[in-house]
Amino acid sequence: MVSKALPNSAVIALIGTGAMGAGIAQIAAAAGHPVKLFDNRAGAAAQAVAGIRGQFDKLAAKGKLTPEAAQAAGARLVAVEALSDLADAALVVEAIVERLDAKQQLFCALEEIVGDDCLFGTNTSSISVTAIGSALQRPERLAGLHFFNPAPLMALVEIVSGLATEPRVADILFATAAAWGKTPVHTRSTPGFIVNRVARPYYAEALRLLGEGAADCATLDAVMREAGGFRMGPFELMDMIGHDVNFAVTRSVWSAFYNDPRFTPSLIQQELVDAGFFGRKSGRGFYAYRDGAVPPQARSEAPQPLPAAIVVHGESALARALSERLREKNIQHVRGEATDGRIAQIDDAVLFLTDGRSATQRAAANGIANTLLIDLALDYAKATRIALSAALGCADSAVAAVVGLLQALGIEVARFADVPGLAVMRTVAMLANEAADAVNQSVCSAEGADAAMRLGVNYPCGPLAWADAVGLPVIREVLANLAQFYGEDRYRISPLIQQKVFAGKAFHEH
Ligand code: NAI
């Protein structure tokens, strides 16, 4: 049977009319449903209705809705005083306090009120849908319907199936979310679902890089934005989310996976939480936000002269982009075919793409003292800043030659301490590793994982598509080298990445 979205005539009930519940009610009313709102705090539901009507009026004032449509959508919202007023609901979405017992009690009470066909959705971001369902007489009608904040603007909805969720129910919710203009993605009820699990390395690797003195926050943020193409760097993003919230999510995913070292929380973030430095909302996090606070600048290398001799080697994406940018600037260079993986020789410096080893480790292995490593970029043709590291023992003149070359191409250079994997490469490898494990453990499909990260947290590219573009053997090698360097299980390679490499396949075959 083909599942269908709930018809516009179906009554949608929202319970818990805070930030998320009100946002979801707005979406359902805009899509044409009668929407009933209930909150156990007196006056909260009525206040939410007034707030949503105000949003519709604003959209009308901006020309995004006709005044008639705004009026009609607002008129479809009703605040109710008692749960018993929700008897005619076709779907009840719960966005109350994030507590298992409260959510179980609510759905148990609803089972006595609503009809047999009524579906239940929970907007929980961290509680097991299976566990919520365990208290119900009919857990098969419950699924997670996980919106992202702010719900009216964020496209992603995770449709979360618990162990008892009937596939038909997940399919109806999927079709309904799509009919509301969202991009739904199926997932299973596992810790963090997709987004809150796969995103962990974005914060964790940055915190580790900071802890190891790779660079300061402003420089790391700038590299992730300008080379990685991420909308926000990890430190400014954590400051925005709030360290209390971000740290709690990390802790909850970590403990739900029985303290898997993949997710080990950071002492640096623990200390911010201990200090009450929650980020923007408390006036201080990694950065200061009080009036008059001056944001720190990213550090860039001082200007260096253009080097004399430039040889670009091989046909990698990086080598081709370097060559192209040199041509655009009319900078003389020659092409070479060295077989040791070098990207370029610049005067007496030899430049490689990071492979997850430190520059010093690599210099020792290849016998080239003047070994320098460059980071991954989303698009080398457009990157305006990049991280660079040099082997201990590399001559200052060799560093200056590479810096001078990159500067001549319009690229700011962030010189990092000699940490393995630099910033973008290490982060992308770990994001892809986590997404691969989620796929391998049947949490979601590769397409679902990528869509979730693009639409739930605005990544410039899905991690698996990105890993395909870099080359899975390269990603595998980076992870293997990080695992070897640190000797930590955190960097163990996903079995699915291993198998894809053995089979010579990509996540997305074209
Ligand atoms: P909130 O605190 O803004 O709103 C919760 C509302 O639920 C309050 O108005 C409260 O009075 C009401 N409430 C609490 N217990 C109730 C009960 N037993 N019956 C009826 N109403 C009750 O919280 P927010 O941020 O809207 O979160 C709600 C849910 O959505 C939580 O499960 C949260 O984990 C989840 N979520 C939150 C996101 C966020 O960024 N804030 C993102 C995605 C999911």
pLDDT tens string 319-355: 999 999 999 999 999 999 999 999 999 999 999 999 9
Cα end-to-end distance, the chain, whole Å? 30
Give me the catalytic one of 33, 94, 123, 125.
125
pLDDT at position 379: 97
Band of the pLDDT at 413, cuts 50, 70, 90? very high
Question: Going by CA atoms, what residue is nearest to atom 8 of ligand 1?
Answer: 18
Question: Going by CA atoms, what residue is nearest to atom 31 of ligand 1?
Answer: 98
Question: Going by CA atoms, what residue is nearest to atom 40 of ligand 1?
Answer: 149
Query: What are the helix (H) ranges across 180-335?
Result: 195-198, 200-211, 217-226, 234-241, 243-256, 267-275, 317-328
CB atoms within 10 A of CB 290: 8
Angle between helices 472-486 and 463-470 (to 10 degrees): 100
For the question of residue 158 being annotated catalytic, the response is: yes
Looking up tokens 């201080």, which residue turns up? 284
For ligand 1, the distance from its centroid to the CA atom of residue 77, given in whole angstroms, is 19
pLDDT at 377 > cutoff 70: yes
For ligand 1, the distance from its centroid to the CA atom of residue 123, given in whole angstroms, is 8
Alpha-carbon gap, residue 61 to 78, rounded angstroms:
23
Give me the catalytic one of 33, 94, 158, 186.
158
Alpha-carbon gap, residue 341 to 364, rounded angstroms:
15
pLDDT at position 1: 45
pLDDT at 3 > cutoff 60: no
Q: Mean pLDDT, to the nearest integer, of 107-133?
A: 97
Alpha-carbon gap, residue 326 to 341, rounded angstroms:
20
Residue 446: C-alpha distances to residues 228, 234, 434, 462, 508 (Å): 21, 24, 11, 9, 8
In the chain, the amino acid numbered 55 is: Q
Ligand 1: which atom is nearest the Cα of residue 106?
18
Alpha-carbon gap, residue 444 to 190, rounded angstroms:
10
For the question of residue 196 being annotated catalytic, the response is: yes
Ligand 1: which atom is nearest the Cα of residue 126?
34
Question: Is the four-CA dihedral 144, 145, 151, 155 of positive or negative sign?
Answer: positive
pLDDT at position 305: 97
Q: Taking phi first (over 0 means left), then psi (-120 to 50 degrees means alpha), and beta for anything else, what does residue 181 get?
A: left
For the question of residue 146 being annotated catalytic, the response is: yes
Q: Mean pLDDT, to the nearest integer, of 202-217?
A: 98
Mutate to test the pocket of ligand 1, among 86, 96, 457 (most ligand atoms within 8 A of CB): 96
For ligand 1, the distance from its centroid to the CA atom of residue 474, given in whole angstroms, is 43
Question: Going by CA atoms, what residue is nearest to atom 39 of ligand 1?
Answer: 149
Question: Going by CA atoms, what residue is nearest to atom 2 of ligand 1?
Answer: 18
Burial (CB < 10 A; 0-12, 13-18, 19+), residue 78, is middle
Report the candidate in 417, 459, 422, 442 with the shortest Cα–Cα distance to residue 495.
442
* Percent of residues, the chain, with pLDDT higher than 70: 99
For ligand 1, the distance from its centroid to the CA atom of residue 173, given in whole angstroms, is 20
Q: What are phi and psi of 275, to 5 degrees?
A: -80, -10
Angle between helices 234-241 and 217-226 (to 10 degrees): 110
Ligand 1: which atom is nearest the Cα of residue 122?
32
Q: Mean pLDDT, to the nearest integer, of 403-425?
A: 98
Q: How many residues are given for the chain? A: 510
For the question of residue 125 being annotated catalytic, the response is: yes
Q: What are phi and psi of 381, to 5 degrees?
A: -70, -25
pLDDT at position 509: 87
Give me the catalytic one of 94, 123, 146, 252.
146
Ligand 1: which atom is nearest the Cα of residue 41?
11
For ligand 1, the distance from its centroid to the CA atom of residue 98, given in whole angstroms, is 7
Looking up tokens 């990509």, which residue turns up? 506
Question: Going by CA atoms, what residue is nearest to atom 9 of ligand 1?
Answer: 18
For ligand 1, the distance from its centroid to the CA atom of residue 223, given in whole angstroms, is 35
Alpha-carbon gap, residue 420 to 387, rounded angstroms:
12
Element (H, E) at 484: helix 472-486
For ligand 1, the distance from its centroid to the CA atom of residue 264, given in whole angstroms, is 27
CB atoms within 10 A of CB 437: 21
Residues 497 and 473: beta-carbon distance below 8 Å: no
For ligand 1, the distance from its centroid to the CA atom of residue 174, given in whole angstroms, is 22
Q: Mean pLDDT, to the nearest integer, of 449-473?
A: 97
Long-range contacts of 316-325, Cβ-Cβ distance < 8 Å, separation of 24 or more: 316/343, 316/353, 317/380, 317/469, 318/343, 318/353, 318/374, 318/377, 318/380, 319/343, 319/344, 321/379, 321/380, 321/381, 322/380, 322/409, 324/381, 325/380, 325/381, 325/409, 325/410
Residue 209: C-alpha distances to residues 67, 405, 418 (Å): 51, 26, 10
Give me the catalytic one of 128, 161, 196, 266.
196
Mutate to test the pocket of ligand 1, among 94, 103, 123 (most ligand atoms within 8 A of CB): 123
Q: What are phi and psi of 152, to 5 degrees?
A: -65, -25
pLDDT at 62 > cutoff 50: yes
pLDDT at position 2: 54
Q: What are phi and psi of 136, to 5 degrees?
A: -90, 150
Lay out the sheet containing 156-161: strands in order across: 77-79, 35-38, 12-15, 91-94, 119-122, 142-147, 156-161, 183-188
Instruction: Give the count of alpha carbons within 13 A of 365, CB side only.
Output: 10
Where does ligand 1 bind, in terms of residues with CB under 6 Å?
15-21, 39-41, 44, 95-98, 102, 106, 123-125, 147, 149
What is the rounded average pLDDT for all residues in the chain?
97
